[in-house]
A and B are shown apart, each in its own frame.
Chain A
Amino acid sequence: MNNRLYGNLIFELSKEGRKGYSLPTNHFGNYEIPASICRANDAELPACDELTVVRHYTNLSNNNFGVDTGFYPLGSCTMKYNPKINEEMAALPQFQNLHPLQPESTVMGAKALVLFLEESLCALTGLAHFTFKPYAGAHGELTGLMTIDNYHRSRGDMARKKVIVPDSAHGTNPASAAVCGLEILEVKSDANGQVDLVDLKRLVEAEGPNISAMMMTNPNTLGLFETSIPEIAKLIHDCGGLMYYDGANLNPMLGVCRPGDMGFDVMHINLHKTFSTPHGGGGPGAGPVGVREGLQDFFPYVSPHHGNFGVMMRACAYILSLGGEQIKNVGPLATLNANYIKESLKDVYELPIDGLCCHEFVFDGLKDKSTGVTTMDVAKRLLDYGYHAPTIYFPLLFHESLMIEPTENESKETLDNFIAVMRKIAEEAKTDPDEVKSAPHNTPIGRVDDVLAAKHPIVTYRALKNEEVKE
């Protein structure tokens, strides 16, 4: 079978009466389940033999793309390699078989691990305390903002309901603020892609007593290090607000500089980005929240246990395998790789803000726009050459954003091959634009109709069946 064309649904392989199990003889008699809790109709589960199930999922997994199969320069997501030792550590039965509700005296090892991770994160960020309850990055953002809101309210400072967010911010920032019941004030970027201090001063003057916090990502989503942080922190602190650090782009800072030293009061860390825990396909993630001394009393109740404990174990394994000295190389190497790609491509791709970047950077599409080949086309064409596409059309500051983040893991050969392919696509855009505009050609599914997918998504087998009936 051609795996590349595998596209069956398990339901389509179902044959009535087939099964992959045989139950032992029942020696215990039947238990009468009350009719009130029985389902009205049988579950419509597919009926397949074991081999069919194994082949189905193996073939599907061969259609998958991950860091283990190829280069994955998805900007802002830090798709770094997840070392296999992390998995070995998380699979230790002494930890894996713990129950969250077993007596505390029997889980001292797990508690020591949490404490070790907290101390490590404090040392790396310059903050004083961490909570591990949040289950992912955005959950961490919400937890952090709730902490800040609790702090203001504890002081009777009830008017502070507005959060300043840069126009280059991740969409989760305004979304988390809105979920927390806060109003968003957007601050503009200046010509260098950094927070516009004039606009910020205007906002602070107009709204000072209402400002709860300012959320910042540093380096920002353009991969640029914000150089006015001390001035920004002073402006916000002087008006009574707190500084929130979005840890999405912590990677290039690792072991180089610390949010706590820059004046940030609260932050979240995406363990699934910076600390090499699994990522994509739904995680599971972890978004621990760190705070300055004194703010730990205001952590809200967001979950009963320590988030995804297995993810924390993987992060510990990563920190311990690198050690205090090696971990300082993570940021500089990620920065070096990103700058290498940027400098090697900026003659054919439009670099809107020149200069050194950190771990990632953003092109504004191809330099030669006359061919009509867009960022979307370039991204689709990359799939043909076996690469995951970069992040596209984000940040919203440019029309044709193409955001590349190679991470520190990749060899020079991998980067050189990627650069060569990106240059080849730029050339194809001139010589054979239609080939690029109709890409991908070498994937199981070609160019999808994203308008139809957005307007009329069919995401369950039942919906697909109903669709067929209508036709």
Chain B
Amino acid sequence: MAKVIEGLYYSESHEYLKVEGNIGIIGITDYAQKALGNVVYVDMPDVDDEVEAGAEFGAVESVKAASDLNSPISGTVVEVNEALEDAPELINQDAYENWIIKVERSDPSEVENLMDAAAYEAFCEKEH
């Protein structure tokens, strides 16, 4: 069973969002890392790039497939997780600990369009 954490927000394309003030921390969920299998490359944006809710901001490549990363929210990238450049497998070890980007949020109300932990858990059940 994939791990889901209370207090985070979730998208239908399996990204999570952790809100810390005006900063949003974005990564892929445990369900997503399990489905992808061994992650071998993470394509990340640059700091200061703009991201848009629902739009692609990068990609995760595993031995099975390459999948787009979609941003759950809009804003400006303030930090990327550089550790993933050399060690993309960190995502498989703990997807929630090893976030991908941090974004300064431009529209705090966007979280209302995302799922909470319970809703996401139900969503994953339905997926399989």
* Interface positions of A (Cβ within 8 A of B): 393-394, 396, 399, 450-451, 454-455
Is B89 positioned at the interface, with any CB of A under 8 Å from its CB?
yes
Interchain nearest-CB distance for A205 vs B (Å):
18
| A450 CB contact (under 8 Å) in B63, B88, B89, B128 | B63
Contact between chains at B128 and A396 (CB < 8 Å): no
CB contact under 8 A between A451 and B38, given known A393-B64, A396-B65, A399-B128:
yes
Is B40 positioned at the interface, with any CB of A under 8 Å from its CB?
yes
Is B35 positioned at the interface, with any CB of A under 8 Å from its CB?
yes
Contact between chains at A450 and B38 (CB < 8 Å): yes
Contact between chains at B63 and A451 (CB < 8 Å): yes
Interface string of B44-84 (1 = CB under 8 A from A): 00000000000000000101110100000000000000000
Which residues on B sit within 8 Å (CB–CB) of A393? 64-65
How many residue pairs between the two chains, A and B, have CB atoms under 8 Å in the bound complex?
Answer: 20
Interface string of B116-128 (1 = CB under 8 A from A): 0000000000001
* Interface positions of B (Cβ within 8 A of A): 35, 38, 40-41, 61, 63-65, 67, 88-89, 128
Interchain nearest-CB distance for B70 vs A (Å):
11
How many Å lie between the Cα of A455 and that of B90 in the bound state? 14
Contact between chains at A454 and B35 (CB < 8 Å): no
Which residues on A sit within 8 Å (CB–CB) of B63? 450-451, 454
| B89 CB contact (under 8 Å) in A394, A396, A451 | A451
CB closest chain-A residue, reference B127 = A399
How many Å lie between the Cα of A393 and that of B35 in the bound state? 10
CB closest chain-B residue, reference A393 = B64
The 9 closest A-B pairs by CB, nearest first: A454-B40, A393-B64, A450-B63, A451-B38, A455-B40, A399-B35, A396-B65, A454-B63, A451-B40
Interchain nearest-CB distance for B88 vs A (Å):
8
How many Å lie between the Cα of A67 and that of B89 in the bound state? 37
Which residues on A sit within 8 Å (CB–CB) of B65? 393-394, 396
Which residues on B sit within 8 Å (CB–CB) of A396? 65, 67
How many Å lie between the Cα of A455 and that of B67 in the bound state? 17
12 more contacts with CB within 8 A, not counting A451-B40, A455-B41, are: A393-B64, A396-B67, A399-B35, A450-B38, A450-B63, A451-B38, A451-B63, A454-B41, A454-B61, A454-B63, A455-B40, A455-B88
CB closest chain-B residue, reference A396 = B65
CB closest chain-B residue, reference A456 = B40
Which residues on B sit within 8 Å (CB–CB) of A399? 35, 128
Which residues on B sit within 8 Å (CB–CB) of A454? 40-41, 61, 63
Interchain nearest-CB distance for B114 vs A (Å):
19
CB closest chain-B residue, reference A453 = B63
CB closest chain-A residue, reference B36 = A399
Interchain nearest-CB distance for A409 vs B (Å):
29
How many Å lie between the Cα of A451 and that of B63 in the bound state? 6
Interface centre among B63, B67, B88, B89 (most CB of A within 10 A): B63
CB closest chain-A residue, reference B61 = A454
Which residues on B sit within 8 Å (CB–CB) of A451? 38, 40, 63, 89
How many Å lie between the Cα of A450 and that of B65 in the bound state? 12
Interchain nearest-CB distance for B42 vs A (Å):
12
Which residues on A sit within 8 Å (CB–CB) of B67? 396
Interchain nearest-CB distance for A403 vs B (Å):
13
How many Å lie between the Cα of A214 and that of B67 in the bound state? 22
How many Å lie between the Cα of A288 and that of B128 in the bound state? 40
